[in-house]
Amino acid sequence: MHYGQAGEQRKLQLQNLEAYENSNFYKENIKNLHDQFIDRKKFVVGKKFLLFNSKLKFMPCTLSRWFGPFLVTHVYPYDVVE
C-alpha cells in the first residue's frame, strides 16, 4: 500500500471515529434533557395507583395497558412499593 493511500485511509478512520464520538455525546445530552422533564411520582401509603404493562403498548385500546388499581401498603427506599 502506498503512503498516500494509507494516509487517506487513516484520515477516513479518524473521521468515522470522530463522528461516532459526536453521536454518543449527542445521545447522552438528549437523554439528560429528556430525563429532566420526567415527573417523579411520590408514593404514599394508602394511595391507589395503576400499573402500566409496557408489553401491550402496541395495542390499539389505551385502557387495556393499565392494570389495577393497586393499594400502596409499604414504601421502601428508592421508590420501591409493596
φ, ψ (nearest 5 deg) of residue 67: -120, 150
Q: Output 1 or 6, whichever has higher pLDDT.
A: 6
Give the pLDDT score at 75. Answer: 86
Give the pLDDT score at 62. Answer: 56
pLDDT digits (tens, 9 = 90+) for 24-63: 888 989 998 888 888 777 888 888 888 877 775 565 665 5
Question: Model pTM greater than 0.85?
Answer: no
Q: Which three cell numbers stand for residue 62?
A: 389505551
Mean pLDDT computed over every residue of the chain: 80
Give the Cα separation of 47 and 45 in Å (integer): 6
Which secondary structure element, helix H or strand E, spans residue 76, and what is its range? Answer: strand 75-76
Give the pLDDT score at 57. Answer: 54
